Structures are given as C-alpha cells and as structure tokens.
C-alpha cells in the first residue's frame, strides 16, 4: 500500500498484471479516502490495463463488486474508475485494518477478468466518546499513594493516527492520569493517586478527563469524574488472575458458560462481599456476554460468529460491600467451526453458446468463497454429471467453466450445468449452483428423406388435380436452418429415374402442414398420363433448407403408370389378299393377319376369330386365335369357287375388339399355267443415243402396280407375262400400272 503522504488528495494505484487464461492472477490495488464524494477519481483502469477508452467501450468493460452494493463505477469512455456511492470505512470495516473494497473488472468479447481492490484510507471523522458523561469512582480514604484506578475507555472508531492517542485530566490536587496500551492496541486511562485522600477534609473530588485522537486537527471527547472518598475499607477484592484467556466454539449455544472469574476480599462482613459486573465495556460486549454478579460466571447472551468477530476483550469488575473494586481482563478467542458452506459467485455467464464453439471456449467465470478459516475455508470445485464441460482454475478461488469437447445441438439443445463447491471441513459442507446453457443452432445438417427412391403406382387417364402422394424431408436443425422447401428437378444422369424423365409439366407441388407444424410436399397431377406414351416417369425432388449457405437432400421419384384398356386392336393392313392353289392339303397356311394393341398385359393380348363367312368358306378355313394364321381345313376346288371372302375379328383381353369388315380377304384360287401369256410393251422405247451407246442391253425395267395383283404378273427383258389364270372375279377389270426403265442414260418417259 502507498502511504498517506503519497496520496495527492486523490487515490493512487498500483497494478500488478499477470494474464492467466482469461483472468489476471495478481490483484490491482488502489486507495481512496473514505467518504470521498461521488464521481471522485480513483484510478485510470485503461492506463493500468494498457487499453484505450475505445477498447474498453468495445469490450463492454464493467465493474463487478464482491458484495451486493456497487460503490465504484467505470467510465467506459475515459477508463476512469470513480466513486459511485460514498464509503464509510467505519461502517464497512469497523476498526479492522486494512479496510478493502474488492471488485473485478470484467471485459467481454473476448471474455477477460481482472481482480482489484480499493483500500479505504481513514479520515478523522470521529471524535473520541465516553459512554458515560460522568464517571463516579468510590475510593477509600486509606488508599495508598500510587494506587491505580482503571477508567472507562473512550471509544473512537477511527484507526491509525486518527484513533484515540492519549488521555488528560483537568487540574486537581489528588490525581494524575496515565495512558496505557492493551495487547490489542487499544488505549485506556489509569488514574494514579498522587496525594493521600482525607474524607474529613474533602468528601468528593471533581475534575474532567479528556480523550484526544491524533488527527489533524485533533478531535477530543470529555467526561466528568467524580471521586467519592469512602470511609476506611482497607481491603479491595483481588482476582485470582489478572488475565483470563479462554476459547469458545462459535457454534456454542446461548447461555453457554464462557469462563468463571473469581476474586476474594480479606475484609469481613459487608466489606468482604463481592459483586461482579461488566458494566464498563463496549456495547458489543454487553450485547454478547452476561455475568452472574454472585458467582462470576460469564455466559453467552447470543451465539458467536467467527466470521463476524474473532476475539473479545472483557473488562470484569469485582466490587466489595465497602465499594472497593478491582478489575481483571478476560480474552475470549472464538474458535472457527465449519458452519459456512462455500459460496459460488458468478461474475460472467454466456447463457447461449454456438454448437460450433470449439473446445476450451469460456462459458462462465466464477469465484468460490468460504468465510470459514483453515481447512474449513479451503475449497474445491467440481461438475456433477457427465457433460461436455470442465472447470479450469484461473487463480486462487477463481475458476472458468469451459467446453471440453465439440457440441451438437441436435443431440442436446441445452445443458443444466451444476457447479458444486465443497470445503475441507469435517464434516464437509458444499453448495451447488446450476447454470442453464442453451446451444444456438448451426446449419450442419442437410434435409434427408426417409428413403432414397420413392415409387408411386397410378392408373393412366387419372384426371388433373389428383394428389399422387406426400413426401417430406426432415432437418434436425432449428429455425430457418430447418425450414425446408421443395423443387422438382431432372434426376441425376445414370440413375433409374433419369432413364424415364420426361418433363415436369405433368406434375406440380403444393405444401401442407401437419398438426405438429411440420411441412410436407404433396405431388399433384397437372395433366392426364397416357401409359402408351410413357409407361414410367421419373424425376427428382430436392429439399433445400433455409440456412446460409443452404444444404439440400434429394430423392429419386419413379411413377409407374398402370395400363387402362383404352385402345382397341388395330390391323396392320386395311385389306388382305391371299392366293392359294387348288388341291393344297389340309392345314396349309394361306395367309397371316396381324392386329396390334398398344395396351399392356391382358389389355394388349389379342385373340383372332372368323367373324363372318360368305358362301361355303366356313368349312374350308380356320384361324389360329393366337397367331392369326388362316389355314385350310380341306383342299379347295377352283371349279366350285374361285374366290372366298372372309371377315376376321380381333379382340383384346379387356374386351375391346375390332371387326374386320373393312378387311376383305380375297383368296384367289389359281391353276398352274404351263405357258405364260406375254404382254408386249412396245410403247417403252429407249432413246436412240442410249440404244447406240456402249451400254447396249444394260437396261432395267420396273413395274409398279397394286400389291394385291402384283403376284399375277412377271417382268422379264421388258416383257410383262401373266403368271396365273385369271379368275372370273377379276375379269373385265381395268388394271393400271406404271412401267419404268433406266440405264446409264436418260430414258424416255415411262409408258402406261
């Protein structure tokens, strides 16, 4: 500490700084006179910490008192520590010295704490005071010269030089005064008889006593002394001990015997009867102790508290029946018991913490205090339960709560962290304090679907607006990080859904909410589907959360379209014409008809049957219901019928059918002609330059005619031959066809 001479009317400061993991281990020490006015300067914290006012403001510097009352405050702009409330040293500390006001300077962002204390310098604001304005002493006239008489001590709550320093008395003929000092430093007055008393000459002696302190200027208090001169009682009581030293446990109950003092008087009768008293004592002693005036037993009037006061000094007076008295001192030492549990004092707390906070992130700073002494006041601190936190010792009784591992809000959203402080008394006492630490969400999870591929089955031709199903993705994050939106997108290349992706024009999405508030996606059909166009459709649904940056999850969606029998069979040709020679054996295939149906499964399975028979055809033909092959059931006779007309019905498995009325099957029954008739095509001639060229004889002819009659003719070297004998049904029919010839030169236009 600095001496008062070094205090230039204001406080001076000494700061020792040692940074240890977020808290300075040493204590910054300052001093200020007691009862300094509000806003009085104490010290410049910014200068002592090596920080600027802007840094203090940016880091939200503040003063955290050790007690409940805030006596000091910090100007964040200037860094000045000033007085907020006047401090009375005597009120705060009594006569204890030094008188310290402890606090911490707390910086945030990042979190840092500095211990500091302000010593209150005593000022001479109290004068010595006697409890009684008149002190009455009864002294026998036989008192010997040099006899000493203990006087009531004046009380001055100031300390040091400002406390009581000496006593003086006004001028008188009989007494001198001496200032004595007790073992605890307190000063008291003793009257010394300097001249023999003579009651017959003067029954009373009156004068005043003055107690003076050492202040500048000094203060004083005065009381009057009246000495009553008694007739001879020549023996005063005598204590067996002039000093009694005892120890009392602080948890002793009321009325516990502290000590028994004893005095004896050689006089007889009333002059030998002794009465004990503790009247001339500080009020604190009178409120704490009582004495049996007959036995000298000193008992407790109320329980003791070691933490409030550790010792007492009691002045006991023994007075005999002749009013002679003597004094002894009783020193009472209060022994500490473990009656105070440790206190956990939170100086800074971060109640919300990002789940992305790394290990060793500071969550809270706290102190542990135990008012007991020795092992009873020695403490340890620990966490209860298994949690991702640990305690770090910063300085004596100063701790930090830090994270011990990575956090995950999706597993645990908040922690109730219980700090338990325990002393080393027997039995040990402990205190617990629970801190609530909530984790703030980080977008560390992408939305996920319950399955990787979602398959839906629906019938074709469903009307637009129909709901196809619901999809939802879950995101264990919170707030915007868990708010999911959905889009339909083409599936990734190479996936099953990509092979059947058509267009998102067929589908749209709408949103719905469950009773718990969760959103889901509903797929809606925008237009009817046709299985014959697309038997399967695929797309991807992407779920994107609201984080920054956002995260997403995808599900492949496949829609299998179930066939509806909405297509009737259709024949591949409008007309079939077949040929057959007479006398072909039974079972010969004369023609194969074919119908197709784009429907699937049973709806696309086609069966054939002869629908209508003209003439005698019913007994000559049969059709294979599966292949459509028309076979002979018996040989045909050209003379009986040279042509047959049949009608075939094709029916699918769903009951739809096509009646082939439009399909006329002409079976031309022909005989083999030995000599083919020749049709001379004299109208087809080559140009002269072509015929005389070097490509003589290289000429290609082509006849174009209806398919139904193409089998009746043959073309060879420009000559058209009739291959079969014509039947009556095609006589007198005009057949039109086109003949073309070409070679290495341009030909004449084709002839008909």
159 — alpha (psi -120 to 50), left (phi > 0) or beta? beta
The pLDDT assigned to 18 comes to: 31
Can you read off the two tokens belonging to residue 293? 């005036």
716: CB partners within 8 A, 6+ apart: none
Residue with tokens 């036989």: 142
DSSP-derived 3-state class of residue 441: coil
pLDDT value, residue 301 = 95
Confidence at residue 315, expressed as pLDDT on a 0 to 100 scale: 93
φ, ψ of residue 407 to 5 degrees: the values are -110, 160
Distance, CA of 43 to CA of 41 (rounded, Å): 6
Q: Which CATH number fits domain 448-562: 2.60.40.60, 1.10.3720.10, 3.40.50.620, 3.40.50.300?
A: 2.60.40.60
Architecture of domain 238-335: Sandwich (2.60)
Domain 134-230 and domain 448-562, same fold? Reply is: yes
Domain ranges of the chain: 4-121, 134-230, 238-335, 343-440, 448-562, 570-670, 678-742
Q: What does the alpha-carbon distance between residue 683 and residue 680 come to, in Å, rounded to a whole number?
A: 9
Give the separation between CA 258 and CA 529, rounded to whole angstroms: 105
Chosen CATH of 4-121 out of 2.30.110.10, 2.60.40.60, 2.60.120.460, 3.30.1380.10: 2.60.40.60
Q: What is the CATH number of domain 343-440?
A: 2.60.40.60
- The pLDDT assigned to 308 comes to 87
Query: What is the Cα–Cα distance from 740 to 752, expressed in whole angstroms?
Result: 9
The Cα-based distances of 354 to 351, 363, 409, 413, 697 in angstroms read 10, 11, 9, 11, 98
Q: How many residues does the chain have?
A: 752
User: Residue 665: its pLDDT value, please?
Assistant: 43
- Between CA 377 and CA 22 the distance in angstroms is 25
Architecture of domain 134-230 in this structure = Sandwich (2.60)
Cα–Cα distance for residue pair 77/368, rounded to 1 Å: 31
By the 8 A CB rule, do 521 and 540 touch? no
Which residues of the chain are under the pLDDT cut of 70?
A: 1-25, 491-504, 517, 612-618, 658-752
Q: Which two tokens stand for residue 362?
A: 């500071």
Mean pLDDT, the chain, rounded, equals 81
- Give me the CATH topology for the region 570-670: Immunoglobulin-like (2.60.40)
Q: What dihedral angle (degrees, nearest 10) is formed by the CA atoms of 491, 495, 500, 504?
A: -10
pLDDT at 469: 81
Its pTM stands at 0.53
The Cα–Cα gap between 644 and 667 comes to 5
Q: Give the whole-angstrom CA distance, residue 434 versus residue 265.
A: 65
Task: Give residue-wise pLDDT tens across range 43-80.
Answer: 998 888 888 878 888 888 888 888 888 889 998 888 88
Do the beta carbons of residue 530 and residue 536 sit within 8 Å? Answer: no
């Amino acid at each position: 500490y600095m001496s008062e001479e070094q205090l230039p009317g204001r406080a001076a400061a000494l700061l020792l700084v040692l940074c240890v993991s977020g808290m300075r281990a040493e204590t910054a020490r300052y001093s200020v006179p007691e009862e300094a006015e509000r806003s009085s300067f104490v010290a410049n914290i910014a200068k002592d910490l090596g920080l600027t006012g802007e840094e203090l403001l940016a880091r939200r510097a503040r003063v955290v008192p050790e007690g409940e009352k805030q006596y000091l405050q910090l100007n964040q702009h200037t860094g000045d520590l000033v007085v907020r409330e006047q401090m009375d040293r005597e009120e705060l500390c009594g006569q204890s010295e030094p008188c310290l006001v402890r606090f911490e300077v707390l910086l945030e962002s990042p979190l840092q704490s500095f211990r500091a204390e302000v010593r209150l310098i005593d000022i001479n604001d109290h004068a010595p005071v006697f409890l009684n304005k008149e002190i009455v002493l009864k002294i026998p006239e036989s008192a010997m010269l040099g006899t000493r008489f203990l006087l009531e001590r004046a009380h001055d709550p100031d300390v040091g030089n400002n406390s009581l320093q000496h006593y003086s008395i006004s001028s008188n003929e009989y007494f001198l005064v001496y200032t004595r000092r007790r073992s605890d430093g307190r000063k008291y007055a003793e009257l010394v008889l300097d001249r023999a008393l003579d009651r017959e000459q003067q029954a009373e002696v009156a004068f005043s006593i003055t107690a003076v302190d050492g202040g500048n200027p000094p203060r004083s208090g005065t009381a009057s002394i009246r000495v009553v001169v008694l007739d001879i009682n020549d023996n005063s009581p005598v204590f067996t001990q002039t000093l009694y030293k005892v120890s009392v446990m602080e948890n002793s109950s009321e009325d516990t015997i502290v000590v028994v003092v004893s005095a004896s008087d050689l006089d007889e009768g009333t002059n030998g009867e002794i009465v004990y008293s503790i009247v001339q004592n500080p009020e604190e002693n009178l409120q704490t102790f009582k004495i049996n005036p007959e036995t000298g037993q000193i008992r407790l009037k109320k329980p003791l508290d070691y933490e409030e006061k550790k010792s007492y000094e009691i002045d006991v007076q023994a007075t005999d029946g002749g009013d002679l008295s003597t004094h002894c001192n009783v020193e009472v030492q209060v022994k500490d018991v473990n009656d105070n549990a440790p206190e956990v004092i939170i100086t800074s707390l971060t109640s919300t913490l990002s789940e992305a906070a790394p290990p060793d992130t500071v969550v809270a700073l706290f102190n542990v205090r135990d008012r007991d002494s020795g092992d009873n006041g020695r403490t340890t601190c620990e966490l209860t339960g298994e949690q991702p936190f640990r305690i770090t010792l910063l300085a004596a009784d100063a701790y930090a709560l830090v994270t011990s591992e990575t956090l995950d809000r999706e597993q645990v959203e908040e922690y109730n962290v219980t700090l338990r402080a325990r002393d080393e008394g027997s039995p040990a006492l402990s205190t617990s304090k629970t801190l609530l630490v909530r984790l703030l969400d980080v977008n560390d999870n992408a939305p996920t679907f319950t399955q990787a591929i979602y398959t839906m089955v629906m019938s074709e031709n469903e009307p637009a607006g129909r709901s196809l199903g619901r999809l939802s993705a879950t995101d264990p994050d919170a707030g915007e990080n868990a708010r999911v939106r959905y889009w339909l997108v083409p599936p990734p290349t190479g996936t099953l859904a990509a092979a059947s992706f058509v267009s998102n024009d067929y589908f749209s999405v709408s949103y719905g909410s469950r009773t718990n508030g969760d959103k889901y996606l509903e797929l809606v059909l925008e237009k009817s589907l046709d299985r014959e166009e697309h038997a399967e459709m695929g797309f991807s649904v992407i779920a994107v959360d609201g984080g920054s940056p956002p995260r997403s999850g995808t599900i492949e969606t496949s829609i299998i379209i179930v066939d509806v029998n909405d297509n009737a069979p259709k024949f591949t040709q409008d007309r079939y014409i077949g040929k057959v020679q007479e006398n072909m054996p039974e079972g010969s295939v004369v023609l194969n008809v074919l119908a197709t149906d784009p429907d699937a499964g049973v709806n696309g399975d086609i069966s054939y049957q002869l629908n209508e028979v003209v003439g005698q055809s019913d007994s000559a033909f049969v059709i294979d219901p599966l292949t459509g092959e028309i076979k002979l059931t018996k040989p045909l006779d050209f003379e009986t019928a040279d042509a047959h007309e049949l009608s075939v019905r094709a029916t699918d498995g769903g009951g739809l059918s096509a009646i082939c009325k439009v399909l006329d099957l002409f079976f031309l029954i022909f005989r083999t002609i030995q000599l083919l008739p020749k049709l001379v095509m004299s109208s087809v001639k080559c140009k002269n330059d072509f015929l005389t060229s070097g490509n003589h004889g290289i000429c290609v002819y082509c006849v174009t005619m209806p398919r139904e009659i193409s089998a009746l003719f043959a073309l060879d070297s420009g000559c058209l031959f009739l291959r079969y004998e014509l039947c009556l049904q095609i006589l007198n029919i005009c057949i039109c066809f086109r003949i073309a010839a070409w070679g290495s030169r341009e030909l004449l236009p084709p002839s008909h």
